[in-house]
Amino acid sequence: MHPTQRLLNDRRNEVLSEVQQRTLASLETALVDRLATMGEDASGLYSYYARKLRRGTLLSECDLSVLAALRERVGQFRRVWEIGSGVGQLTAMLALDGHEVIAFDRDTGRYAAMTENLDILERHDPAARGRISTRFGSFPAVLDEKDDIRADAVLVLGCSFTASKMEYRAFEDAVARFALGLMDFPRLFTPATNGEEWRQRARDFAERYRVAVVPIANYRIPELGKEGELFVVAG
């Protein structure tokens, strides 16, 4: 086994409960089948997830740090909004930890894969499935004006996409309205090439929205040969 893979496995055993480990194994098996049956494009597992499944890194080091960080912060937020939840691997783990989660993605194939994965979660723990609601759509448009997010947490992980400066600003403005954020600045909008660049992004965000932005964990992305850093944002 590759040393990076061994480190990830150790961290998983440390952070995940038994039911989380069993559920994750079922999700991985189902996604591998989905990929084999439907192919990369139709399955929604193209590039990012196909690589993760090949490397056994469906639940990443970054995801594990998010789970650990939210466990430490119970009581500091009400619900967790997961922007770009993809196939819902972290969504399922969060709900098994007892969090109320609102998961959304704007990619049809990935949203369909997440829906199937939540059916699998239902078989392992119906109560955990009941703690998740899903929306199909793009953040921040997916927020309804009736949504009161002032006591909620938001996850901004792997949200790289191309848009205009105005759209990037609207995205960040909406993120800054949450009580707590876990943000992966290295992969926000465009992948950053080094730590100085992503730390500058974090400082800019802190200054613009007058919030505290603190690094809490480093992570590796072995399938891309990259590294990054997770930050907590609080008003």
Least separation in angstroms between residue 198's CB and ligand SAM is 15
**Window 171 to 200, contacts with ligand SAM (CB under 6 A):** none
Q: Which is nearer to ligand SAM, 75 or 158 (CB)?
A: 158
Q: Which of residues 92-121 bind ligand SAM (CB under 6 A)?
A: 104-107, 110
Q: Among candidates 59, 61, 136, 134, which has minimal Cα distance to 93?
A: 59
In the complex, what is the shortest distance from the CB of residue 77 to ligand SAM, in angstroms, rounded to a whole number?
18
User: Which of positions 110-169 make contact with ligand SAM (CB under 6 A)?
Assistant: 110, 138-139, 157-159, 161
Using omega within 30 degrees of 0 as the cis cutoff, is the peptide bond preceding 140 cis?
Answer: yes
Residue 28 interacting with ligand SAM (CB under 6 A): no
Distance CA 83, CA 148 (A): 16
The CA distance from 16 to 32, in Å, is 21
By CB under 6 A, the residues from 72 to 91 that bind ligand SAM are: 83-84, 86
Q: Which amino acid is at 221?
A: I
Q: Which residue is nearest to ligand SAM (CB)?
A: 84
Which tokens belong to 34?
Answer: 């989905």
Please state the φ and ψ torsions of residue 215, each to the nearest 5 degrees.
-70, 135
Q: Is residue 59 close enough to count as binding ligand SAM by CB under 6 A?
A: no
Angle subtended by helix axes 195-209 and 165-175, to nearest 10: 70
Chain residues in the site for ligand SAM (CB under 6 A): 48, 83-84, 86, 104-107, 110, 138-139, 157-159, 161
